[in-house]
Structure 1
Amino acid sequence: MPTNNIQDRAMGAIMGAFIGDALGLGPHWYYDLNELRRDYGDWIDGYTDPKPDRYHAVCKAGQLSQAGFILALTLRSLVECGGYNEDDFCRRMDEELFPLLDGTPVSGPGGYTSQSIREAWRRRVQQKLPWGQTGSHADTTEAIERTLVIAVRYAFQPDQLAAAITNNTMLTQSDHTVVSMTVAYGAVLALLVQGHTLDAGLSGKLMELVKDGKLPFHAVTRGDLRPPRLGDPDPSRAGRFASPDALLTPSYMAAAVTDSEIQIEPAWKVSIVYGMPCAIYHQLPAAYYLAARFHNDFESAVLHAINGGGQNQARAILTGALAGAQTGLSGIPQRFFDGLEGGVSLIKLAEELASKVGDL
């Protein structure tokens, strides 16, 4: 695969996430879809101002939320260090984010601070605990929302990808199921940056990485999930994560896209099928479905993610990265860059990181 195509896909993944974040800023967390339509019309097709009495009210259309702020922080750290440096990341969190927080939800950059970040702030700032003792049991996607750039950086080094994402995730979230699903998302994104498509065969490629010892998931089945046979040598790999199921999920979602007997119309109703709430097990299936269905149509992918309501911002970040990795930066409509505050500097950072993809 030509290097320029890899870089285009890497930049598409990064900028797709930033665009998804900014798209979600206005219509964030409407669980009543009638209320969402009342405030924003039948179809949201761009950046919007938050309403005065809702989330992110201090912000304007095209700005980033706190998730975008932390994603940019992580991206700068990767660029300036040449790769993942946990000490540098933690220093930036201590110096650039935590002084702006007060431990309450409605505070900090973007006007809202998520549960996992509030808990990390309390343990780090109030309780004076060292990093490594700051993770909570939040079951949400905040770690994915920042570590997706780590996945891009190590798109061709799955073992380094898994180690870095695991370590970074556990700084704020300690539940091993959440960690495994976060690493799995990173592994999926990496394959898309390489040039693979989110389809029914992608999980098989991920399982080959498990069998080769490059992804730390336990596996006992043979190829195509066939059971072990009596008398066969033990084929299992006792990885850090007890189950490989998080690696199997995306291909099931992709298979649903191509199954003529499964209809989700319009596609934004995927949020109703898999659930509107914030938890990672609601968010990932919807993002995988939308990114598989609109693998060559970035605009449709992110706009259906937004118009589904609920935790649509996280859904759009995750979908935006997956879709952007498949279409590349060149496949993202220019209007999404034109309306994104700070977009020029973010593209420059994305380009700098993309130039390192594949480096050891």
Structure 2
Amino acid sequence: MPNSTSARLQDRAAGALMGAFIGDALALGPHWYYDLDELRATYGDWIDGYTDPQPGRYHAGLKAGQPSQAGVLLELTLRSLVERGAYDEADFCRRMDEDFFPLIDGTPMAGPGGYTSQSIREAWRRRVVEGLPWSQAGGSADTTEAAERVLAIAVRHALDPAALADAVTRNCVLTQTDGTVVAMTVAFGAVLGMLVEGHPLDEDISAKLMLRVKRGELPFHTVTRGKLEAPEPGAAEAPVAGRFPSPDALLGPSCMARAALDPGIRIEPAWKVSLVYGMPCAVYHQFPAAYYLAARFRDDFEAAVLHAVNGGGQNLARAMLTGALVGAQVGLSGIPARFINGLEGGPARVELARQLAAQLAT
């Protein structure tokens, strides 16, 4: 475990990034099995490592340890951040136009990673087919694609909550414009940023986030005071009224963390979190499950990501988001070596993650 404050910060930042890459690749094979009996019949009672996708399934033809398209886009975003030193929207959009969009054709079962998600297909169509500007490329998909790449932006700007929220918002709306999706994605980025800072994912995290709202650092609207108590008569609203009409996306993480740590509430085995919060792809299923697993297994990266994978359904997003949250808590030093050794391009991705992490110390 790194000793200095700066070294621990960088370890957490690199851990968040590698946790996401690992979670993505772990779920590549058993992705989108909504029939859990079929999942168990194919991969056994417990998936404990990287696996090949089956013929005829999502990502068919790829091999164990390779990334899905979510991992490819995370790496594209990460490289932009490393080379530009911060979030540079023009550079990100150029990379999408020049390096990524030529590799896909707007259909689901095509492109790097073996499957192209709805929001990316819509953005490709608007940019390539219709020739619209990026400001008009976003669609209404309610899924986690934006969150899967903006986690790198959240890590880079973890020490500046206002810059984090602004950059995550701007990147998210390039492909997804639904207000609830954007709010929940920004909230996820804000939580991840706090974990990179060193805050625990516990029942107090929402109060800390709300304090940042009150200080005008996070763009959420709120009129309450203290622990969601009624405002004083004549009291002013937060300095920034907020792009998002409600702070509820910031309040949920504490609820999931409290449930995970409450001895009177048990989800056993923990992979059944997918049945409690939902197996589908939407943000309102995926974020709660990731928060729960990351709070319950805050010191155990392996348990967190493997329970995320073994829950079936949209387990790739669940494992990727969980991997980022737990990776930020245990740090790169707390991730078992076997997960990095089995990841395609593992050492190179570690180096890239460390380069971004080093920017936090400058």
Does residue 275 in structure 1 map to residue 278 in structure 2? yes
**How many pairs does the alignment contain?**
358
Partner residue in 2 for 1:199: 202
Q: Deviations over 1:44-72 (max 9, x none)?
A: 00000000110000200000000000000
Deviation at 1:232, TM superposition (A): 3.7
Give the AA of the match of 1:170: V
Deviation at 1:234, TM superposition (A): 2.7
Give the AA of the match of 1:299: E
- Which of structure 1's runs of 4+ aligned residues deviate more than 6 A? none
Give the AA of the match of 1:145: E
Give the AA of the match of 1:335: R
Contact preservation (8 Å) 2:261, 2:295: no
**3-state DSSP of counterpart to 2:329:** helix
In 2, distance between residues paired with 1:176 and 1:347? 34
In 1, distance between residues paired with 2:27 and 2:341? 16
What pairs up with 1:253-268 in 2 under 5 angstroms? 253-268=256-271
Contact preservation (8 Å) 2:6, 2:361: no
Deviation at 1:263, TM superposition (A): 1.4
Contact preservation (8 Å) 1:157, 1:358: no
Give the AA of the match of 1:21: D
Partner residue in 1 for 2:115: 112
Does residue 308 in structure 1 map to residue 311 in structure 2? yes
Contact preservation (8 Å) 1:17, 1:318: yes
Does residue 128 in structure 1 map to residue 170 in structure 2? no
Deviation at 1:170, TM superposition (A): 0.4
One of 18, 23, 27 as aligned partner of 1:24 = 27
Partner residue in 2 for 1:333: 336
What pairs up with 1:68-217 in 2 under 5 angstroms? 68-217=71-220
Partner residue in 2 for 1:67: 70
In 1, distance between residues paired with 2:236 and 2:5? 40
**3-state DSSP of counterpart to 1:181:** helix
**3-state DSSP of counterpart to 1:43:** coil
Give the AA of the match of 2:154: A
In 2, distance between residues paired with 1:228 and 1:125? 49
In 2, distance between residues paired with 1:293 and 1:9? 18
In 1, distance between residues paired with 2:110 and 2:214? 45
Q: Deviations over 1:72-107 (max 9, x none)?
A: 000000000000001100010011110011110000
TM-score with structure 1 setting the length:
0.98
Give the AA of the match of 2:19: G
Deviation at 1:185, TM superposition (A): 0.3
In 2, distance between residues paired with 1:228 and 1:216? 19
Deviation at 1:358, TM superposition (A): 5.0
Partner residue in 1 for 2:43: 40
**3-state DSSP of counterpart to 1:323:** helix
In 2, distance between residues paired with 1:257 and 1:312? 19
In 1, distance between residues paired with 2:199 and 2:236? 31
In 1, distance between residues paired with 2:360 and 2:299? 22
In 2, distance between residues paired with 1:227 and 1:258? 28
In 2, distance between residues paired with 1:294 and 1:70? 27
Does residue 249 in structure 1 map to residue 252 in structure 2? yes
Deviation at 1:235, TM superposition (A): 3.5
TM-score with structure 2 setting the length:
0.98
